[in-house]
């Protein structure tokens, strides 16, 4: 692309310095190229004008266009309560047009007896039809030079005050287009365009802003989505290939005494075939000279920690230290207790370091790491501190990796002179098409079996009217010697929400399950670490029958005797959280249950979520649905964890087929030309720079 694309947008006629600053701060539009690639989110079909008399309140009416004549208008009220009301007709009926903002500007444009085109969503009350904040333009003012469908652009209140609402942005883009065409240079090789039946880039950009027809709009969208996703897949596949080709990892060829003794003497149960397969994959990575970068996915309770421990024992057999980083104090201490117990008698030093570690514990950990007496260190974010210095770190395991930011995780890469092997684990299943984009540079292993003896968790949805039945069920399970979790979404009351909070729930439960016959413990995020540990220890050791908690126990709590998970206000949780919470039970051999409590009034999405939880325990199936309901940005914490996808038009949920198609093409091209040096492929380096900047997460180069 030419330097025209990098020209400051302030120099476009109609923008200027003030508008340019607001465009940059509100929409991220700083250059002419940014504006050209700022696409409409919907379109007005200017060929269709509805009639007021045809509108029916019984139907679900979307945004429509009307041609009306103003009968009268008046400003009603003062100050913040002011509104502008205009009565209009098209000869078949009357409609009230209402504006609550920009009143002065709209009032200056209205003229009694004049015809206007209005666009908005009609609403009905007592047989009368109205339209709030309709878009308004003079009849004949709309330009037909660019097609019959007009783009509608997302904007903001700040921009609207500068007359840069959707219409204002549309006008800027029509001005921009007059000089843009000559600067648009094709970015895809002719062979790819022809093989995939793609529209040219110039025609695609014209028809995305000014569609000549619905068919041409669809072709334009496909071309632009293809290019965007193809660039990202080229970038990811090439990075992965280059990492695989490098020999900069620690070779760990030996499977020695520690691994073999653990496998023969310490394993508490026979590994599943899935665990054995994954251990073999990890072993294959560690044996050679390339650095391992592997994502280990497995549903809750599938045995990921056991697999990670075997990898750490292979590292120990080869003279290397390992560390496991967990997102919470509770989870880190549980991993520490489990691994210390399971390696007892193997002559292997296991240490722990968290933000809450006391002075002696911290000193022992730091000294043991430096002198090599600690072989496996378990910890939280505290492991990232500069004073945590390893003697010879060879393997880093990151549990619930999406809870750590990219910068945090990358600091572990620098704890040795060469990057250690990396195993990142997630109990939150990631849909395949999302994984190949978010984590395309990682090799992926999946544990898709539960250990033998585990029974599927029975899940039911109940409302407040079934509270007594729920209490009766809890009584029966406790009488069998079992334990119960009760999880709440809030700690303190919120005036804007009517959900039961933890303290009210605790009082209701202790009123039903009275001490001293019953003991109820409490855990929430605002307690001190000592308080949380004491409550958790009481529950884990069987001293408490019921644990009332917030979702702080979503990960890391392993109490095989707990068979009931009650989730209060379950409609407030996402599918991923609900599935994680459900995974706290079903960890022993007894039948376990998950009870989803909700209010009677539920949104359509909430009903889908709760219904899906009742129907299936398959985490990957739930993850696919979650992505469809919430979008890719919220799945797996991607918005919080630094994975930047500045997608202009593609959608990681809806466009999964294009993702898979472009990945195959990228793989074929790079297999033949790894560095895109052939003349027909040189253009592709340009689109990688333009579109793939910041896409995904570069696990290969981060060290």
- What are the pLDDT digits (tens) for 501-558? 788 888 999 999 999 999 999 988 778 878 888 888 899 899 999 999 887 665 556 7
User: How far is the C-alpha of 405 from the C-alpha of 641, rounded, in Å?
Assistant: 4
From residue 610, alpha-carbon distances to 427, 498, 580, 624 in Å are: 20, 19, 14, 15
CB of 312 closer than 8 Å to CB of 324: yes
DSSP H helical ranges for 458-598: 467-479, 502-512, 529-540, 575-582
H/E stretch holding 523 = strand 520-523
**Angstrom distance (rounded) from CA 613 to CA 627:** 15
Taking only the tens place, the pLDDT of each residue in 287-306 is 887 888 888 988 777 888 99
Reading the block at residue 566, the tokens are 């009650």
Task: Please write the tens of the pLDDT for every residue from 604-613.
Answer: 889 999 999 9
Which of 110-114, 263-267, 315-319, 348-352 is least confident? Answer: 263-267
Question: Is 148 within 8 Å of 169 (Cβ atoms)?
Answer: no
387, burial (CB in 10 Å: exposed 0-12, middle 13-18, buried 19+): exposed
* Lowest-confidence segment of 242-246, 495-499, 667-671 by average pLDDT: 495-499
d(CA 446, CA 440): 15
- Checking if the pLDDT of 99 tops 70, the result is yes
Degrees to nearest 5, angle at CA 231 with 227 and 237: 140
Question: Which is it for strands 393-398 and 458-463: parallel, antiparallel or unpaired?
Answer: unpaired
440: pLDDT confidence band, cut at 50, 70 and 90?
Answer: low
Q: Which residues of 296-308 are buried (b: 16+ CB within 10 A; e: fewer)?
A: bbbbbbbbbbbbb
Cβ–Cβ under 8 Å, residues 56 and 201: no
88 by DSSP, 3-state: which? strand
With a pLDDT cut of 90, the percent of the chain lying above it is: 43
Identify the band that residue 150 occupies on the pLDDT scale cut at 50, 70 and 90. Answer: confident
β-strand partners of 445: 296
pLDDT tens, 19-54? Answer: 999 999 999 999 999 999 999 988 877 677 889 988
Question: pLDDT at residue 699 above 70?
Answer: no
Whole-structure pTM value: 0.66
Which candidate, 371, 382, 376, 323, places its Cα nearest to that of 347? 376
700: pLDDT strictly greater than 80: no
Residue 213 has pLDDT above 60, yes or no: yes
For residue 303, the model assigns a pLDDT of: 86
Which pLDDT belongs to residue 474? Answer: 97
* 353-362: average pLDDT: 90
Q: Quote the pLDDT of residue 683.
A: 85
270: exposed, middle or buried (C-beta count within 10 Å: 0-12, 13-18, 19+)?
exposed
| Cα four-point dihedral sign 393, 395, 398, 399 | negative
**pLDDT for 542-586, tens place per residue?**
999 999 988 766 555 678 899 999 999 999 888 888 988 898 898
Angle (CA) 552 553 554, round 5°: 90
Q: Partners of 596 in the beta sheet?
A: 461, 567
Confidence at residue 639, expressed as pLDDT on a 0 to 100 scale: 36
CA within 13 Å, CB half, 310: 20
User: Packing angle between helix 656-672 and helix 214-245, nearest 10 degrees?
Assistant: 50
pLDDT at res. 378? 96
Q: Given a cut of 50, is residue 634 above it in pLDDT? A: no
Q: pLDDT at residue 669 above 60?
A: yes
Q: Which residues in 32-81 belong to E strands, given as ranges?
A: 42-45, 64-76
Looking at per-residue pLDDT, the higher value among 127 and 209 belongs to 209
Is the predicted pLDDT of residue 644 greater than 50, yes or no? no
Q: What confidence tier does 406 reach under pLDDT thresholds 50, 70, 90?
A: low
Give Cβ neighbours of residue 298 (< 8 Å, ≥ 6 apart): 274, 304, 307, 425, 427, 446, 447, 448
> Which has more confidence, 266 or 11?
11
Q: What is the pLDDT of residue 554?
A: 56
Least confident segment among 70-74, 79-83, 111-115, 181-185: 79-83
Q: How confident is the model at residue 448 (pLDDT cuts 50, 70, 90)?
A: confident
**What span, in angstroms and rounded, lies between the C-alpha atoms of 220 and 292?**
40
Mean pLDDT of all residues belonging to the chain: 85
Give the pLDDT score at 58.
Answer: 56
């Amino acid at each position: 692309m030419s330097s025209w694309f990098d020209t400051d947008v302030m120099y476009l006629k109609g923008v200027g310095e003030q508008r340019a600053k607001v465009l940059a701060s509100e929409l991220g539009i700083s250059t002419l190229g940014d504006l050209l690639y700022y696409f409409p989110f919907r379109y007005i079909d200017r060929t269709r004008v509805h009639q007021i008399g045809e509108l029916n309140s019984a139907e679900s009416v979307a945004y429509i266009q009307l041609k009306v004549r103003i009968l009268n208008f008046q400003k009603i009220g003062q100050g913040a309560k002011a509104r502008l009301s205009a009565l209009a007709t098209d000869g078949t009926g009357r409609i009230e047009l209402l504006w609550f903002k920009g009143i002065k500007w709209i009032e200056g444009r209205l003229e009694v007896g004049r015809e206007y085109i209005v666009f908005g969503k009609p609403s009905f009350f007592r047989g009368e039809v109205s339209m709030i904040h309709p878009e308004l333009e003079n009849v004949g003012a709309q330009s037909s030079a660019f097609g019959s469908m007009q783009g509608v652009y997302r904007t903001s209140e700040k921009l609207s005050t500068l007359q840069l609402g959707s219409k204002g942005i549309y006008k800027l883009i029509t001005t921009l287009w007059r000089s843009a065409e000559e600067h648009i240079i094709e970015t895809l090789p002719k062979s790819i365009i022809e093989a995939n039946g793609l529209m040219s880039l110039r025609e695609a950009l014209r028809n995305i802003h000014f569609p000549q027809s619905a068919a041409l709009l669809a072709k334009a969208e496909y071309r632009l989505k293809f290019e965007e996703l193809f660039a990202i897949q080229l970038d990811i596949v090439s990075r992965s290939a280059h990492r695989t080709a490098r020999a900069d990892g620690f070779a760990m060829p030996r499977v020695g005494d520690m691994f073999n003794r653990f496998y023969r003497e310490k394993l508490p149960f026979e590994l599943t075939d899935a665990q054995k397969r994954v251990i073999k994959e990890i072993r294959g990575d560690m044996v050679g000279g390339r650095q391992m970068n592997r994502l280990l996915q497995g549903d809750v309770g599938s045995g990921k920690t056991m697999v990670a421990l075997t990898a750490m024992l292979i590292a120990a057999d080869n003279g290397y230290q390992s560390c496991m980083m967990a997102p919470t104090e509770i989870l880190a201490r549980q991993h520490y207790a489990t691994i210390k117990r399971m390696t007892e008698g193997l002559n292997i030093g296991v240490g722990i370091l968290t933000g809450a570690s006391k002075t002696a514990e911290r000193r022992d950990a730091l000294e043991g790491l430096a002198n090599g007496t600690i072989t496996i260190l378990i910890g939280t974010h505290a492991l990232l501190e500069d004073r945590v210095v390893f003697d010879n770190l060879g393997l880093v395991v990151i549990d619930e990796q999406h809870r750590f930011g990219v910068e945090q995780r990358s600091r572990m890469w620098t704890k040795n002179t060469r990057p250690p092997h990396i195993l990142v684990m997630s109990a939150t299943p990631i849909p395949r098409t999302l994984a190949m984009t978010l984590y395309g540079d990682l090799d992926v292993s999946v544990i898709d079996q539960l250990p033998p003896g585990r029974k599927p968790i029975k899940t039911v949805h109940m409302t407040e009217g079934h509270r007594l039945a729920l209490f009766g069920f809890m009584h029966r399970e406790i009488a069998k010697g079992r334990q119960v979790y009760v999880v709440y979404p809030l700690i303190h009351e919120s005036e804007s929400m009517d959900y039961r909070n933890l303290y009210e729930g605790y009082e209701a439960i202790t009123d039903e399950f009275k001490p001293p016959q019953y003991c109820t413990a409490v855990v929430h995020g605002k307690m001190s670490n000592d308080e949380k540990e004491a409550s958790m220890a009481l529950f884990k050791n069987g001293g408490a029958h019921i644990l009332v908690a917030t979702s702080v126990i979503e990960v890391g709590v392993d109490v095989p005797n707990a068979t009931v998970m009650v989730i209060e206000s379950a409609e407030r949780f996402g599918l991923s959280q609900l599935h994680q919470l459900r995974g706290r039970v079903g960890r022993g051999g007894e039948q376990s249950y998950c009870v989803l409590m909700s209010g009677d009034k539920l949104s359509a999405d909430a009903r889908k979520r709760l219904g899906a939880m009742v129907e299936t325990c398959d985490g990957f199936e739930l993850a696919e649905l979650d992505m469809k309901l919430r979008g890719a940005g919220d799945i797996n914490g991607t918005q919080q964890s630094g994975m930047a996808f500045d997608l202009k038009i593609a959608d990681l949920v809806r466009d999964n087929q294009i993702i898979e198609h472009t990945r195959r093409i990228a793989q074929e091209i790079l297999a033949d030309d790894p560095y895109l040096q052939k003349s027909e492929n040189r253009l592709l380096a340009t689109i990688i720079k333009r579109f793939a900047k910041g896409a995904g997460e570069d696990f290969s180069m981060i060290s």
